[in-house]
Amino acid sequence: MNRVIFYERIPDMVCLAGDTLPTFVVTVDLDEGETLDGCSMQLIVNDYQDHGTAVLCRDCTALPDGTGFAYTLTSSDTAGLAGVFELHFRLIDADGLSQRKLYGILTVNPCPQGGSTS
């Protein structure tokens, strides 16, 4: 049986706790006359082993040209993370219906406690 996937997959990523990641820009294909007016997008980060528990939920910022949304996982977002996480970008339309648009895996390694290098 073939699985139908309704979202894009981003490559697996690895960072250190406290890193700021590049900005994620999620564009939405729109038909002629369609707009994203009244729509929003959230970035949901959940533990890979415990799918039901979100550790972060952030509202994305609409792009000025109205074609999508953006979010940057900052050092304050990743500082408290360690382990493997799923990233979900969820588009919510004006009627409140939602659809996952982008998905990926993020591994966050604890930041090593530095010692003397001399």
Q: Which CATH class is domain 8-27+38-109?
A: mainly beta
Burial class (CB in 10 A: 0-12, 13-18, 19+), 18: middle
Q: What is the pLDDT of residues 94-114, one digit of tens each?
A: 899 999 999 999 999 998 776
pTM: 0.85
| E strands in the chain | 8-9, 13-16, 24-27, 40-47, 54-59, 61-62, 68-71, 83-92, 98-109
Predicted pLDDT at 117: 46
Q: What is the pLDDT of residues 37-55, one digit of tens each?
A: 999 999 999 999 887 789 9
